[in-house]
Chains A and B, each alone.
Chain A
Amino acid sequence: KQEVTQIPAALSVPEGENLVLNCSFTDSAIYNLQWFRQDPGKGLTSLLLIQSSQREQTSGRLNASLDKSSGRSTLYIAASQPGDSATYLCAVEWGFQKLVFGTGTRLLVSP
């Protein structure tokens, strides 16, 4: 059974700080790992997708890394802004097209 864990569960930082969100999974036989953002009352928005053969992906101020052998991924957010406040979820594709989600990290960036 695949289990995905995210720490911390919540994080509060002042604007401008760089921060790291962590995700770990128990079974390394994954197709890919995805990071999503969820705003209150909204669906999930895909931020980054790292294929199992890749080590990292970057989009703007976001950088995600994947270490399959150790079952870990990190999402690095540079120069955080209040607009980054949201819940961040990681998910592994375990079994074709089947996503297993973590419980999320709730991020608050204060002006």
Chain B
Amino acid sequence: DAGVIQSPRHEVTEMGQEVTLRCKPISGHNSLFWYRQTMMRGLELLIYFNNNVPIDDSGMPEDRFSAKMPNASFSTLKIQPSEPRDSAVYFCASSLAGTQHQPQHFGDGTRLSIL
């Protein structure tokens, strides 16, 4: 089992640039989650998908943030334009949603620095 794969692991870019973070969930999982972790606010859920459909995006901070899941094996989180306050570690997680609640499996994260 390859686990949840995120890329890139680190991203450093200048303010105003577009940033795209990528995630490949565990094969067979039907739910995918994007989280952001900062020292000030801890881990926060940004958006989650079920069967490739966005279910809840209430955690997305601003219109500058967007997420897509074009198929069951790939998702992107895009920030355009980026700002220094977007600097954080972004995690993707996946799970198998069903009648029994299953644990979420996390990737190693993308450490994003906006200069």
User: What is the interface of chain A, defined by CB distance below 8 A to chain B?
Assistant: 31-32, 34, 36, 41-46, 49, 51, 89, 91, 93, 95, 97-104
Contact = CB atoms under 8 A, between A and B. Distances in A.
Given A101-B42, A103-B42, A43 B108 contact: yes
Contacts of A34: 103-104
B91 A46 contact: no
Contact of A43 (B45, B48, B91, B103): B91
Given A95-B56, A99-B45, 13 more contacts: A42-B108, A42-B109, A43-B108, A44-B93, A49-B102, A51-B100, A93-B101, A97-B33, A97-B50, A97-B55, A97-B97, A97-B101, A98-B45
24 contacts: A32-B101, A36-B106, A41-B108, A42-B108, A43-B106, A43-B108, A43-B109, A44-B91, A44-B106, A49-B101, A51-B101, A93-B101, A95-B56, A97-B31, A97-B50, A98-B48, A98-B56, A99-B33, A99-B45, A101-B42, A101-B43, A101-B44, A103-B42, A104-B42
B25 interface: no
B68 interface: no
Contacts of B112: none
Interface of B: 4, 31, 33, 42-45, 48, 50, 55-56, 91, 93, 95, 97, 100-109
Contacts of B44: 101
Contacts of A45: 106
Most A Cβ at <10 Å: residue of B43, B95, B100, B107: B43
Summarize B's interface: helix, strand, loop or mixed.
strand
Nearest to B55: A97
Contacts of A51: 100-101
B43 A31 contact: no
Contacts of A42: 108-109
Contacts of A41: 108
B5 to A, nearest CB: 11
B104 A46 contact: yes
Contacts of B101: 31-32, 49, 51, 93, 97
